[in-house]
A and B are shown apart, each in its own frame.
Chain A
């Protein structure tokens, strides 16, 4: 049995609870033990550009406090947290002075960076740890195999390309293989790697909405029935705010958006409620007949 330390991140807890709810129910089915840490802190993303050393310290503290000799890694649900954790590891490995800086502060609390854990992204978890073969096995048919699903990785899952990630930062393919293993079709589209706009919400909200609109309307014109993502921030922009975004530009919601874990959950026979589908605000109802097993 694989044991992973769960790090939800703040945004999932305060806004997108479906991210946590769906992954908890899905991973139970795949026999993966999730350890929920007793205390956590912010991953440091909020301070990344305004106070880099504080941000690095916060991520370093997180790495130290989540240490668990029994665990195979830290499962970061949010792309922002995922980036922060792997970037901190990269920087601490490359720069001994920064490592010493972080350790000096950690020592005051009796913490230390004992070893470097593996940072796991949900897509990596399904593709590499659970495996494509297992996913192919759960897809027992009943769904409409002509359903075409768009994938959205989210920028921070893959970029910057200088920091090692789970897939090719300019042409990722693992989510596509998951979708195909589940028995659906997918295809490349020009807006696949476009930003959802979430990072700009605080500093330039109107540009953020414009980017979300370009992403949603651009994707919709290619005739996809569904868009799938894993990141709570992207989900916020593309699902929860879709109506507001579309209205702002005189358009209407037209692209059903789901979390990857919700899609997998429905395929393994979980109820809509247990993957928190009732919290989705995009028009997911219109795609349900095609993806539910009957």
Chain B
């Protein structure tokens, strides 16, 4: 039987204010095998740790129980103390008598003391079975995958590549740029959006460490942190990237038309197209669903006219496989489907548009070349309403705030006043949330523009009039009355959701998701906002939750630095609490395989029998397989079934 040292922490009054530490010490001393019992006012102070190390050394104990607080925050500290005292750190048992006892039983001091004694007794019984464990080192492939080529993915890819590692940047569209390329200007400084994004896009294309895979999608991801193996589908462009010079003659001569997705359906593009003039790479793609050759077998004008012979109708999708040590998911956002908000009339009236559509309408490379007109009516609007929180902060649609709509509405008012100086702009807003750097100043600047009216009151309805105008109805609390404002154009600041492509990536990666909006779930909202439940996979940008450009860029750089610190260290240490299979007892029934959420268990042939085998790098030590096994053939080290039974026996004694 091992000799156990027990340390009791007062945690000031957090523990000692409720639990009678002296009585606990007396009770614990009576237990056989306990060599020393020591209490300390703050065990985690330098002083507390030093005296703990000295006591362990001088008493020659070989196991340690600490009754203090949560292992989440303090286990590494106490493990290190054991290491310094010459003990294996896994011979420590941390009993949480604070969160699980004193804090929740503040009003029952007697019972709390009794419970603390039971908890510590159980830990002493359990630690007798603990074994020394070692962490193992596994190598890390010095390359990273970035999924999504918007501003978040671009920033993360550049940062990782600048640190000297290979980056595969995968983008599903023919060009990188994402939603930021659609914006005309950015708030609150009104920088031209493409002017600050364009140089970064070109840097990506030129960077020796970045392998740019546009028009590509991730098919599968296998492996573990340090060693992911990824299959990527390169969709056929029907244009050879090695031959195309980007002269775009093919586009000029193409007779087929399709809705322009980049311009949010406000204009048409050809069947062979680049998304926008600054597209990177400047290589067109053919959309087979509208191309005359693919649909009717005729035309081939682009092929005949291409000076370099780059058009290749026989191109096939190609699957490439890459191996990386870490993955960054930056699949971004899209606007919520505005037609779902029936009362705002989107899709019913041509002069109701979304914020992103307005961005395209005012953009110099948009459908009108920067002239603001009412879509399909082609008339310059005089009175414009901007409706904030369309679909956002609404239990029927998206319960959360989109965090960019308020500032976008001010920016949009500025656009309108800039292009049509005598226009009247009405912003319908419950409130303007201008909490970022320079936001309040921008709010003031726009508010003071003549002809910009900020109506306090959420728009209740948009209804059409027979003359083609639309009226916006709202309740104005200042007037205590409903109001109705007749306008030529309504801009809906629509809420945002995670982009549609996130879902397939999420399924491939087995990542968690926030119920509403489809945003990916971080490991911890405060302490681990970049990490996910899967080691080596990081999230950044709007896919992790609604955010503006500065925050997205900051988060992308944070994700990149996480990746760089992992790749530059060159190895990972596995945590030793991984499930271990007793092959003699295992019947190969596969129940544990289905119980494992991390895909860590496989059935292998061993000595002519099928038995379960655990991939240590994937196993999280959650214990789901242990509970599921009908043969008691899987155990987590230092959490053996006999140890758990010993604990229960102490508690019910």
Residues of chain A touching chain B, judged by Cβ–Cβ distance below 8 Å, are: 161, 170-171, 188, 190-191, 221-222
Contacts and interface: CB of A to CB of B under 8 A. Distances in A.
B463 interface: yes
Interface of B: 342-343, 348, 396, 461, 463-466
Contacts of B463: 190-191
Contact of B466 (A161, A170, A188, A221): A221
A191 B466 CA distance: 12
A284 to B, nearest CB: 24
Contacts of A221: 466
A190 B469 CA distance: 12
Contacts of A161: 396
A171 B464 contact: no
Contacts of B466: 221-222
B343 A188 contact: no
Nearest to B348: A188
Nearest to B345: A190
Contacts of A190: 461, 463-465
Nearest to B466: A221
6 contacts: A170-B342, A188-B348, A190-B461, A190-B463, A191-B463, A221-B466
A161 B395 CA distance: 12
B461 to A, nearest CB: 8
Main secondary structure of the interface of A (DSSP, over half): loop
Given A190-B463, A190-B464, A221-B466, A170 B348 contact: no
B394 to A, nearest CB: 11
B113 to A, nearest CB: 41
A170 B343 CA distance: 7
A191 B461 CA distance: 11
Nearest to B340: A171
Contacts of A170: 342-343, 396
Nearest to B465: A190
B75 to A, nearest CB: 46
The 4 A-B pairs of least Cβ separation, nearest first, read: A190-B463, A171-B342, A170-B342, A221-B466
Given A170-B396, A190-B464, A190-B465, 10 more contacts: A161-B396, A170-B342, A170-B343, A171-B342, A188-B348, A190-B461, A190-B463, A191-B463, A221-B466, A222-B466
Contacts of B461: 190
B34 to A, nearest CB: 54
B342 to A, nearest CB: 4
A156 to B, nearest CB: 19
A191 B484 CA distance: 14
Contacts of A171: 342
B614 to A, nearest CB: 48
Nearest to A171: B342
B387 to A, nearest CB: 16
A190 B472 CA distance: 11
A165 B465 CA distance: 30
Contacts of B464: 190
A161 B343 CA distance: 14
Nearest to A222: B466
A208 B421 CA distance: 43
A169 B463 CA distance: 17
A170 B342 CA distance: 7
A171 B339 CA distance: 11
Nearest to B467: A221
A190 B396 CA distance: 21
A28 B466 CA distance: 41
A136 to B, nearest CB: 26
A171 B396 CA distance: 13
A81 B343 CA distance: 27
Among A161, A171, A191, A221, the one with the most B-chain Cβ atoms within 10 Å of its Cβ is A171
Contacts of A191: 463
Contacts of B396: 161, 170
A223 to B, nearest CB: 8
A135 B464 CA distance: 32
B396 to A, nearest CB: 8
A93 to B, nearest CB: 21
A188 B342 CA distance: 11
A128 B367 CA distance: 45
A289 to B, nearest CB: 25
Contacts of A188: 348
B388 to A, nearest CB: 19
A285 B55 CA distance: 104
A277 B342 CA distance: 35
Among A161, A170, A188, A190, the one with the most B-chain Cβ atoms within 10 Å of its Cβ is A190
Nearest to B473: A190
Contacts of B342: 170-171
A220 B455 CA distance: 31
A222 B461 CA distance: 18
A221 B467 CA distance: 10
A254 to B, nearest CB: 14
A164 to B, nearest CB: 15
A161 B463 CA distance: 21
Among B396, B461, B463, the one with the most A-chain Cβ atoms within 10 Å of its Cβ is B463
A170 B464 CA distance: 17
B304 to A, nearest CB: 47
A171 B345 CA distance: 11
A191 B465 CA distance: 10
A155 to B, nearest CB: 14
A171 B341 CA distance: 9
Nearest to A218: B463
Nearest to B462: A190
Nearest to A221: B466
A233 to B, nearest CB: 23
A99 B465 CA distance: 48
Contacts of B343: 170
B484 to A, nearest CB: 11
A190 B342 CA distance: 11
Nearest to B342: A171
B274 to A, nearest CB: 38
Nearest to A168: B342
Nearest to A223: B466
B399 to A, nearest CB: 16
Contacts of A222: 466
Contacts of B465: 190
B320 to A, nearest CB: 46
Contacts of B348: 188
Nearest to B343: A170
A188 B466 CA distance: 13
A123 B464 CA distance: 27
A161 B461 CA distance: 17
A172 to B, nearest CB: 10
A171 B347 CA distance: 13
A222 B348 CA distance: 15
Nearest to A170: B342
A150 to B, nearest CB: 14
A199 to B, nearest CB: 17
B344 to A, nearest CB: 11
A191 B464 CA distance: 9
A222 B467 CA distance: 10
B178 to A, nearest CB: 32
B57 to A, nearest CB: 65
A171 B465 CA distance: 19
A191 B345 CA distance: 12
Nearest to B470: A190
B287 to A, nearest CB: 32
A161 B342 CA distance: 14
A222 B465 CA distance: 9
A170 B466 CA distance: 22
A190 B464 CA distance: 6
